[in-house]
Amino acid sequence: MKYTQTQITQMKVILTKRDIEQSDDSTLFDVFTEGCIGWDNFEDSHVIEQFKEYFDEDILEEIDEKRSYK
């Protein structure tokens, strides 16, 4: 499936929120100490691969449908 740039951006946001929800204090300590590579800095192919591993692609369709109703 070919993804639009908007969909890939949505994937990055969803992956970021997932990372935030799963983070604890020690993770935040590591980020502030060592830094991290943000989702905006990964190749689109990596973002897509990670998104598919953790989420159902139907999430993107649901987001697109909600946008079309506005």
Hey, where are the domains in the chain? 5-69
- pLDDT of amino acid 45: 96
pLDDT grade for 16, boundaries at 50, 70 and 90: very high
- pLDDT of amino acid 68: 67
Question: 58 to each of 1, 42, 51, 65, 70, how far by Cα in Å?
Answer: 12, 22, 11, 10, 19
pTM (predicted TM-score)? 0.77
Instruction: Indicate whether 70 pLDDT > 60.
Output: no
